[in-house]
A and B are shown apart, each in its own frame.
Chain A
C-alpha cells in the first residue's frame, strides 16, 4: 500500500473537520506567518520572540481566483501522457489572521463557480501520486456561502 505524505512537511495537519493549515506565531508581537517562519520574526519593529506553531482559520473569503489552462512546467508534477485538466487557483483572505493564502481549488470547482468574497474552507487533497506515495496538499472548497 502506498503511504500518504504531505508535499511540504508541517504546513498542514488533520483530517476532515480537523484539517488546518499550520503557520507560526511570534510570542512577542503576535505576528502570524504562513508559510511558517521558524527562526526569526519578520516584523521589523519586533524585538523577536519565540515562533510557535498555530493552526490557521479554516474558513476564509475569496480574495481573487484564476486557473491554469495550460500544463505548468516542472517541478509541478503531471502525467504528460494524460490530457491536461485545468484546475482553479484561489487566493483566500483569512479574516482573523489578516493574511491571503493561495491554494488550488478542490477538483471539479472551476472559475465559473467562483466569485470574489465567496466563503471557502481549507480541506485535505491530493496533489499527485507516484508508485510509492500519495502526496497530499491543502485545497480550498466553496462552502456555499456567497459573497
Chain B
C-alpha cells in the first residue's frame, strides 16, 4: 500500500457554456478549494495544472497560468496533459510530490472552455497523428466510438436503448440536485427516446455535451493536515494511471484498429478493467468495500460498461444492476450521484478533478440532497484518449 494524502479543500466553478476563458473558471475553483481548506494561496508549496488543449499553448501551460492569475508567489509548478485523464494525472503528480516530501500543500487545478459541437483534432495537416487520421479518413467523431460500444453491448449482452435511457433518467435526477451541474432538469425515458439519433444506437440525450467548467483540490500531507486541525480528513488512498497492455483488443479512441492478437494472447482483463484493479490493489480494498462510484458516462451505455469494469457486477450484468436499482440513490452502490457527465457535459481537464470533488463531499457527508448515507469509500474512474487510465480511491 502507498501512503495517503489528505484532501483539505475541494472547489468548483459551475459547469455551463459561459463563453469566458478557462483561466477564470480555474481561478474561481482554486479560490473555492483554498477557502474550503482554510488556507491562503501563499501557503501553497506547489501548483499542478491539468491542461486544456484549447488555450493556445496547452492551457497557456496550465499550472503557471493559474499561478500567475492567483498572484505569483513562487510556488513549484507542474502541468500535465492526458486528455480526459489529465485531472487524475494532476492529482497523482501532487500526491507524488507530497509523499516524496517535496511539498506539504499542493493545489490541483483543471479548467476548460469547450467549443460548440463535436470535439475535433488540432488544426493543420497532420497525417502522422491518429486523432487527425480518424477524422480525415473516417469522419469518426467521439460519439461514433460510443455508438460502436453501445451496439456491441446490445449484440453481446442484450442491452436495449431503454436501458441506456434509464442511465440518463437516473443521472439527470441527481444533476437536478447539484448546483455545479450544467443541466438541472430531470429527463424522462420518453424524452431520451424522442431526441435525435447522433450515432446509432445513441441519441442526443445518451451522449454527454462539451462544457465550460473548472475544478480544484487542495491536497496536503497527513501530518500537515493534523497540524492544521483536520483530525479526520478525506484521504486519497490510491491513484491508478495505468496504460494498456499489448495486445489491446478493445477498439479505443482515436484508433482505426485494435492491436492484433495473432502473436500474443491478450490479457484476460480489458484495459478498462485493469484501471480499476490497479486502484483496488493499491488501496487494499475491493469493489465490495465501495460506498459510491463516479464513472465517466461519456455515453449512457458507457456507464453500464464501467459497472462491469469496476467489478460492481459480472460481465454483461451492467444493465441488470441498473434495472435492479443498485446504482441509484439508496441502492447497494450508487453511481454518479453528482449527476455524472450526463448532467455536467465534459470539461476535459477539470472532469476527473470534479469527480474527486464529489467523492470528497460525499465522504464528508456534506453532499446535501445527493448524500449517500454513511459513505466511507469512493472510487472515480475514467479513460483518456490514446491509452490513459485514471482512477482515484478516497476514504474517510
Contacts and interface: CB of A to CB of B under 8 A. Distances in A.
B199 A68 contact: yes
Interface string B121-141: 100010100101111111111
A26 interface: yes
Interface stretch (B147-155, B289-297, B388-396): B147-155
Contacts of A34: 256-257, 260
B147 to A, nearest CB: 3
Contacts of B151: 64-66, 116
Contacts, number: 145
B135 A76 contact: yes
A70 B118 CA distance: 10
Interface residues on A, range: 35 or more
Nearest to B126: A75
Contact of A98 (B149, B155, B201, B260): B260
Contacts of B201: 66, 111
Contacts of B139: 68, 72, 76, 87, 89, 104
B391 to A, nearest CB: 23
Contacts of A72: 118, 135, 139-141
A54 B126 CA distance: 25
B196, B199, B249 — most chain A CB neighbours (10 Å): B199
A63 B148 CA distance: 9
26 contacts: A7-B137, A31-B260, A31-B262, A31-B263, A34-B257, A34-B260, A63-B251, A64-B149, A64-B152, A65-B148, A65-B151, A66-B148, A66-B200, A66-B201, A67-B200, A69-B196, A70-B198, A72-B140, A76-B138, A96-B262, A99-B259, A99-B260, A102-B140, A102-B255, A103-B138, A104-B138
